[in-house]
Structure 1
């Protein structure tokens, strides 16, 4: 089903609505993740997806040494499988490309953790062209394996 979502830059006024979306996804974001997200959303660039003037999804990103990184992405459960996440990801990739990034990375729960919601997350990123970059075992019980996926960003036309 095609979505009718409108994408626009995230503003400070969107923080509460974005956090409402994130809290609607406890399968993906535990209390520690929500706490970190609350801080990150104040400092990272972002975009929101709106349907009927309601925020139903968001994405944040930042850049280090020419490599873009996706901070957070979330779409409200009743808007899953409508292409909103893919459109948000494309939006972020475009903004990163325009800022000079030639690659974009995302960190997610690793494959050694058998957990269906994150199997879907990894499939989402792979369908968007992301490939394995590195994997690290951690002491964090919420993310015992950190998987970094990476994608090359094609140059802007005319570059």
Structure 2
């Protein structure tokens, strides 16, 4: 990732930029997903990455009962494969760990759907240490198989 990149907390002023970015990724986010994202962005914690002052990505997360969950993550198409997603994911994991989460999960499109963008998505999470946790077939045509991946979070060690 370029040295000029900066990570910071997601602010309410960022919500329209986040939705606009997600709209530029129709391979990953359909209309229904964008509608849900617009709701979730108001309730989930998040971070953004900017490169040379440009909004190039974001991640959101939440936790319940000690389990952190990645809500949404998106990187501008012309900034893929530059390490921005990995940095955002690490940022979210650190925040979840600090809030007491002992593991983090993410739901994505499952293996039964032969769709290259989500093959890359699953590879991204697996490269970050996530393992398959649960696969569920659904009636949702936008996500006929929901695959949940899971990663343990190491505890924060005292100084």
Counterparts in 2 of 1:79-158, with a 5 A limit? 79-158=79-158
Q: SS state of the match for residue 58, structure 2?
A: strand
Deviations 1:7-66 (A, max 9, x none): 000000000111111011000000000010000001100000011222110000000100
Give, in whole Å, the separation in 2 of the partners of 1:18 and 1:49. 11
Give, in whole Å, the separation in 2 of the partners of 1:53 and 1:59. 17
Query: Offset of 1:112 from its aligned partner?
Result: 0.3
Q: Report what 2:11 is aligned to.
A: 11
Q: Report what 2:49 is aligned to.
A: 49
Q: SS state of the match for residue 55, structure 2?
A: strand
Report the TM-score when normalising by structure 2: 0.97
Report the TM-score when normalising by structure 1: 0.97
**Stretches of structure 2 lacking an aligned partner (at least 5 in a row):** none
How many equivalent residue pairs?
158
Deviations 1:104-157 (A, max 9, x none): 000000000000000000000000000010000000000000000000001112
Structure 1 residue runs of 4+, over 3 Å off?
A: none
Q: SS state of the match for residue 155, structure 1?
A: coil
**Stretches of structure 1 lacking an aligned partner (at least 5 in a row):** none
What value does the CA root-mean-square deviation take over the aligned residues?
0.9
Pairing 1:71–2:71 present: yes
Query: Offset of 1:5 from its aligned partner?
Result: 1.6
